[in-house]
Amino acid sequence: MVPCQTHVMLKWQEHLNSSWAAEDSQTATRQGAAGLYAKLLHNKEVVGVAQPVMDLIGPRLPDFQYESSAAEEREEYLSSLLHSQRCLAHRVLARTPYALGLHHRLVVLQRIYYALHSKYHDRFRAPAPSQTMTSQDSGAMEPASEPWLPGGGSRVKSGTDVLIEMGVRTGLSLLFALLQQNWRYAREDPGVALCNDVLATASSVLASLPPLSLANENKIPAVGLDCLAQVADFLKKTSVSSGSGGADRAGRRLALELLLGLAVQRGSLRFLLEWVEVALAASSSSITSSTGSQQLQSEGGVGYDLIYQTLLQMRQYSGFRGDSLNSQALKKDADGLCSLSHVALCLFEEICNLASNCLCSCSAGSASPGGVENDAVMVYVWGSNSSHQLAEGTLEKILQPKLAQGFSDAQMIEAGQYCTFSVSADGSVKACGKGSYGRLGLGDSNNQSMPKKLALEPPRNMCKVSSSKGSDGHTLAVTGEGEVFSWGDGDYGKLGHGNSATQKYPKIIQGPLLGKVSLQWRLTRAHCVVGWM
For the chain, which domains are there?
A: 8-63+79-120 (no CATH), 159-363 (no CATH), 379-532 (2.130.10.30)
Res. 420 pLDDT band, cuts 50 70 90? very high
Q: For a pLDDT cut of 90, what percent of the chain falls above it?
A: 4
Average pLDDT over residues 341-358: 81
Q: Provide the terminal-to-terminal Cα distance of the chain, rounded to the nearest Å.
A: 68
* Top-confidence range, 50-59, 450-459, 516-525: 450-459
Provide the b/e sequence for 366-379 (b: ≥16 CB within 10 Å): eebbbeeeeeeeeb
Task: Check whether 404 has a pLDDT greater than 70.
Answer: yes
Query: The whole model's pTM is what?
Result: 0.43
Average pLDDT over residues 30-52: 84
Average pLDDT over residues 262-273: 88
CB 498 within 8 A of CB 514: no
Count of other CB atoms within 10 angstroms of residue 13:
11
359-368, long-range: CB < 8 A, 24+ apart: 361/319, 365/412, 365/464, 366/463, 366/464, 367/463, 368/427, 368/461, 368/463, 368/480
Task: Check whether 50 has a pLDDT greater than 70.
Answer: yes
- pLDDT per residue as tens digits for the range 71-81: 887 888 888 88
Question: What is the reported pLDDT for 233?
Answer: 92
**Distance, CA of 30 to CA of 25 (rounded, Å):** 11
Task: Check whether 368 has a pLDDT greater than 50.
Answer: no
Task: Check whether 28 has a pLDDT greater than 70.
Answer: yes
DSSP 229-294: HHHHHHHHHHHH--STTS--HHHHHHHHHHHHHHHHHHT-HHHHHHHHHHHHHHHHHHHHT--GGG
Task: Check whether 18 has a pLDDT greater than 50.
Answer: yes
Task: Check whether 114 has a pLDDT greater than 50.
Answer: yes
Question: What is the reported pLDDT for 59?
Answer: 74
- pLDDT per residue as tens digits for the range 120-137: 776 444 444 444 444 444
Question: What is the reported pLDDT for 55?
Answer: 63
- pLDDT per residue as tens digits for the range 3-12: 445 678 888 8
CB 94 within 8 A of CB 5: no
Res. 146 pLDDT band, cuts 50 70 90? very low
Res. 531 pLDDT band, cuts 50 70 90? very low
- pLDDT per residue as tens digits for the range 474-521: 898 888 787 888 999 888 888 888 888 888 889 888 866 665 555 455
Question: What is the reported pLDDT for 262?
Answer: 92
**Distance, CA of 278 to CA of 203 (rounded, Å):** 18
Task: Check whether 206 has a pLDDT greater than 70.
Answer: yes
Task: Specify the amino acid at residue 46.
Answer: V
Who wins on pLDDT, 43 or 24? 43
Task: Check whether 154 has a pLDDT greater than 60.
Answer: no
Q: What is the mean pLDDT of the chain?
A: 77
CA angle, residues 363, 368, 370, in degrees to nearest 5: 120
